[in-house]
């Protein structure tokens, strides 16, 4: 059996930009590509290529190793890449009866707020398991390595997670990724999918992962 593997480089931590490519980064990147290729080849023997059971993990789960500011920007670039490319669908409003929101992010795909955050954070090693929108800010044991830091946006840094709503069930909860400044990236039903928006007025809780730097962080990202 011959297997053709296509590797698409998204803007994000999975692609090292030329302006700060270092030798150690190149070697790590090559190793990750090889591992991904092997995993994909093994998967092809049992699952059709059209089936996406989970999102691709670019980095192993690790909430202890400190990130650099470049790492944060890469993750946010990946998240904002999907603006206008992913529409909203959810079991809560019966628009996703087949659970397509759980599939790996792809152009023309569908997801909801919590699955969008999960796919991004899982890909970059910050989450091991899915976290519901109402669990963010309420159940720290569901996101090890992250901690609640209140609701003052002035204390947030890019890469933090913002939880809004009452947080008692999916229907009244929402979760977003903070970009910096007055911007967030989210998957919202009333906005048609993944969009860049202003920070919401009423934040229930901000969640910060301790591996994400809090010093000299760019307050905002280039989303062009």
**Is residue 111 scored above 80 in pLDDT?**
yes
Residue range(s) defining the domain that contains residue 124:
18-209
Distance (Å, whole) CA 34 – CA 41: 11
pLDDT in tens, 5-48: 443 444 444 443 444 345 555 455 555 555 555 544 443 333 33
Distance from C-alpha of 187 to C-alpha of 197, rounded to nearest angstrom? 10
pTM for this prediction: 0.71
Is 222 part of a structural domain of the chain?
Answer: no
Most confident of the ranges 18-27, 88-97, 146-155: 146-155
Domain assignment of residue 215, yes or no: no
pLDDT, tens only, 54-65: 556 789 999 999
Assigned domain for 101 exists: yes
Contact 207, 157 (CB under 8 A): no
Domain-embedded: residue 182: yes
CB 133 within 8 A of CB 172: no
* Residue 192: count of CB within 10 angstroms of its CB: 12
> Residue 217 falls within a domain, yes or no?
no
Where residue 52 sits, what CATH number does that domain have?
A: 3.90.1720.10
Residue 20, helix vs strand vs coil: helix
Position 99 pLDDT exceeds 90 = no
54 lies in some domain: yes
Has residue 80 been placed in a domain? Answer: yes
Domain count, the chain: 1
| pLDDT score for 223 | 39
Q: Is residue 220 part of a domain?
A: no
pLDDT at res. 83:
98
Bigger pLDDT: 202 vs 13? 202
> CB under 8 Å to 166, separation ≥6 — which residues?
172, 173, 204
């Amino acid at each position: 059996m011959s297997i053709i593997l296509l590797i698409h480089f998204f803007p994000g931590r999975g692609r090292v930009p030329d302006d700060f490519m270092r030798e150690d980064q190149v070697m790590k990147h090559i190793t990750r590509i090889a591992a991904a290729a092997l995993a994909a080849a093994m998967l092809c023997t049992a699952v059709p290529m059209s089936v996406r059971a989970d999102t691709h993990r670019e980095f192993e789960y690790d909430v202890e190793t400190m990130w650099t500011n470049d790492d944060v920007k890469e993750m946010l670039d990946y998240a904002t890449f999907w603006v206008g490319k992913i529409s909203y669908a959810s079991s809560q409003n019966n628009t996703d009866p087949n659970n397509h929101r759980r599939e790996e992010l792809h152009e023309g795909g569908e997801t909801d707020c919590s699955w969008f955050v999960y796919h991004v954070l899982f890909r970059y090693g910050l989450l091991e398991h899915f976290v519901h929108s109402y669990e963010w800010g309420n159940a720290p044991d569901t996101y090890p390595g992250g901690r609640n830091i209140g609701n003052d946006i002035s204390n947030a840094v890019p890469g933090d997670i913002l939880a809004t709503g009452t947080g008692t069930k999916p229907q009244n909860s929402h979760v977003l990724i903070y970009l910096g400044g007055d911007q967030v990236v989210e998957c919202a039903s009333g906005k048609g999918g993944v969009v860049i928006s202003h920070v919401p007025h009423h934040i229930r809780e901000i969640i910060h992962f301790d591996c994400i730097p809090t010093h000299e962080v760019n307050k905002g990202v280039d989303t062009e």
